[in-house]
Structure 1
Amino acid sequence: MLIDDREFLADPHAAYARLRETGPVVPVRDPNGVEYWLITRYAEAKAALSDPRLSKDPRRAASGLAEGVFLPMVNSDPPDHTRLRRLVTTAFSARRVESLRPRIEQIADGLVDEFQHGATVDLIDAFAFPLPVLVICELLGVPPAHRAALRGWAARVLQVGDGDSPRARARRLAAYFTKLVAAKRPLVSGSAHAQPDLLSALICARDGEHRLSEDELVQLCVLLLIAGHETTTNLIGNAMLALLRHPEQLAALRADPGLLPAVVEEVLRHDGPLGRATLRVATEDITIAGTLVPAGAVVSVGLAAANRDGDRFTDADRLDIGRSDGKHLAFGHGIHFCLGAPLARLQGAVAIGTLLRRLPGLALDDRAAQWLPTGLARGLITLPARLN
């Protein structure tokens, strides 16, 4: 079955519904000719995300995956992944993330200050994109003078068809962070917890005798920048579109701002920032829901499909900010659960809350929102809105 063609991208949730009806594990092919097994239902998806027989290293595929961008913590298995994860977790503490709240609120308010009352604004370009880019730059300790250039380099790194390959864009970012690591390293001393920014903390992070190599440091910075802004931009944009399209849900949130955390979770389930998890490779013959997946075969977990599985969620296609059965898979599951989930949740709640507090007359513009032309990410290119 063909996925990610024009018809699929026009309504991916309807396409995933058809695939769920076909079966929990479905053979598919993308427009580039890459063939893999797509997992469509919640129970099977959750199990696959933590199955050690499904490797994250694309080099283990029988064919067709070795040309993409290789990022060590995304594309590795234990014990390498365990070592990297432990080192990064040491620096990426909950305390460090929560300490960013006042600054995130300040950045969000500053972006809204630039809006002109009564005008039309693109909420992606003017708000949902710059907010997480500025936050991740500050978290990493990117000097203020470099942030505008880095924002341009990072723009839509995962987007296809804009004249520059993902690998070339990743190399450009790696070259920048190589210089930044070299500049910061002589200034770092003391423990990871004592550092003023995450990159400095990563430079001095250690677990016994293990430390991050220079290449691992650089590639982690690239990963944090890409994952730290692309998915959060999608989360904010998807949330605002969903709320503006569902006025009864928006009214309930305006009446009770304490629902913001629940809103973030429901948007992550209903229309999360990723359509599918990054690809996995079967290291041996595996039987999933009665289907034999041979060794070397590529497997994709359909996060968007699983998160609307009617066997797991009541009235799964409906946006319901009061939902009580919302244990979604938007951030994955198992050892590869998204390390940046707390930061994404925090930024999502602050962003939505700021827009609704500051712009009580916000409404969708007559022009249609535009979606990214990819099945991997699920996010908006533009979201025109009126500032009534």
Structure 2
Amino acid sequence: MTRNEDVRTVLSDRSFTRDVMGERARQAGETPGGARSVNMDGRPHNELRALVSKAFTVRRIEAMTPRIQAWTDELIDAMEETGPPADLVAHLAVPLPALAICELLGFPVEDRQVLSGWCERITRLGDGGPDQRAWQELSAYIARRVPVERAALRGGLAPEASILTRLVHAHDSEDALSMEELLSLTVVVLAGGLETTQTAIGAGMVRLFRNPAQLDKVRADPDLVVPAVEEILRYQPVIDVNRVQVATRTVRLGGQEIRAGDLVQVSVNAANRDETVFPDSERCDVTRGPNPHLAFGYGAHHCLGAALARLELKTAFSTLLRRLPDLRPAVPLESLGWRGGHVTLGLEELPVAW
């Protein structure tokens, strides 16, 4: 599915589900087993989502604004000390989301590099798929953090409690999830908070560099950073794979009959270039509005971390352009290396000068 309307339908209609294996079992007359996962729909998904949603409320994310700004300034300070050319990926795109998600999860920020390394390995695709050893090592790390969070609960669950603290409380005091579910959900939140935003910062700057007239508009009018972020999210692919869902019943969509059990791929990247929704969609336009892109998904599985990602992107772009008004690529953009074989389409590096 590539049309915007059809993609929205598949992502939100109960005629389709992410839970491919569970649905296959149900259609075979079997009862799906195992732990709940975020790929499920309905009650299992809602229960897991509710356990972490309080950490991503607009109010909680807005309260992080000073911290995000301080981290961004500190990272750019260090980049300036290094001097041009400097790698924007290593100096800003990778560490900023890592700092933010570590704080939300309750992980020591000094562990962010090893955590990023594990996430990079578990999001690999292709031969062999995700690195199972990395998954095991990351799960073991989280398990070692559980007693620390458990100790923090002796005074009760505080409103500002970290995500992991909330999950430990849900496991210990409410019997709301198993240890397997706690570990899996923490990994999903961590990987989701790292990989996509890292890609969006680096690739987003490349997109602006490739459209100098649009970049000049944002430099001239800082208020354009907000619509520019939305346009980058629409225009610049971040996820490098098409999501696969399965039909739960026979339906007609896009003029075709889709039978119960059929697999359906949805291309969010194509939907974000649908001319019926985004006129002149092949042009990057930082003044575009409205901009109902699907970069964060749609429906019940809309990305929980959307507000955090928007804050990080807005802060990164606005601070870079304010502090380094002559920021420019230090190498030909055609020579940049893009990381393949992962869920996200990331830059290997982005040398910049100023």
Distance 2:88 2:205 in 1: 9
Label 1:164 to 1:73 Cα distance change in 2 as closer, same or farther (>3 A).
closer
Label 1:125 to 1:221 Cα distance change in 2 as closer, same or farther (>3 A).
same
Contact 1:73 / 1:84 at 8 angstroms: preserved in 2?
A: yes
Distance 1:330 1:156 in 2: 23
Residues 359-370 of structure 1 aligned to structure 2 (within 5 Å) = 359-367=324-332, 368-370=335-337
Q: What's 1:82 paired with?
A: 46
Partner-residue secondary structure (3-state), 2:79: coil
Identity rate of aligned residues, in percent? 39
Shift of 1:144: 3.9
Q: What's 2:20 paired with?
A: 58
Residues 296-335 of structure 1 aligned to structure 2 (within 5 Å) = 296-335=261-300
The answer as to 2:13 corresponding to 1:46 is no
Distance 1:341 1:101 in 2: 14
Amino acid at match of 1:82: N
Q: What's 1:14 paired with?
A: none
Distance 2:156 2:227 in 1: 36
Q: What's 1:95 paired with?
A: 59
The answer as to 2:217 corresponding to 1:260 is no
Shift of 1:73: 4.3
Distance 2:11 2:271 in 1: 12
The answer as to 2:132 corresponding to 1:170 is no
Partner-residue secondary structure (3-state), 2:265: strand
TM-score by length of 2: 0.87
User: How far does the alpha carbon of each residue in 1:170-195 deviate from its partner, in whole angstroms, 9 at most, with x for none?
Assistant: 22211111111232113215665524
Partner-residue secondary structure (3-state), 1:89: helix
Label 1:195 to 1:366 Cα distance change in 2 as closer, same or farther (>3 A).
closer
Partner-residue secondary structure (3-state), 2:321: helix
* Number of aligned residue pairs: 342
Label 1:144 to 1:347 Cα distance change in 2 as closer, same or farther (>3 A).
closer
- RMSD of aligned alpha carbons: 2.6
Unaligned runs of 5+ residues in structure 2 are 26-33
Contact 1:261 / 1:349 at 8 angstroms: preserved in 2?
A: yes
Q: What's 1:384 paired with?
A: 351
Contact 1:88 / 1:205 at 8 angstroms: preserved in 2?
A: no
Contact 2:68 / 2:100 at 8 angstroms: preserved in 1?
A: yes
Shift of 1:42: 0.5
Amino acid at match of 1:77: D
Of 70-79 and 333-342, the range deviating more from structure 2:
70-79
Shift of 1:62: 5.5
Partner-residue secondary structure (3-state), 1:211: coil
Label 1:300 to 1:167 Cα distance change in 2 as closer, same or farther (>3 A).
farther
Partner-residue secondary structure (3-state), 1:269: helix
Residues 3-14 of structure 1 aligned to structure 2 (within 5 Å) = none
Q: What's 1:187 paired with?
A: 152
Unaligned runs of 5+ residues in structure 1 are 1-38, 64-69
Contact 1:191 / 1:201 at 8 angstroms: preserved in 2?
A: no
The answer as to 2:241 corresponding to 1:279 is no
Q: What's 1:35 paired with?
A: none
Distance 1:267 1:193 in 2: 37
Partner-residue secondary structure (3-state), 2:246: strand
User: How far does the alpha carbon of each residue in 1:330-356 deviate from its partner, in whole angstroms, 9 at most, with x for none?
Assistant: 111110100110001011111111211
Label 1:90 to 1:306 Cα distance change in 2 as closer, same or farther (>3 A).
same
TM-score by length of 1: 0.80
Distance 1:383 1:156 in 2: 21
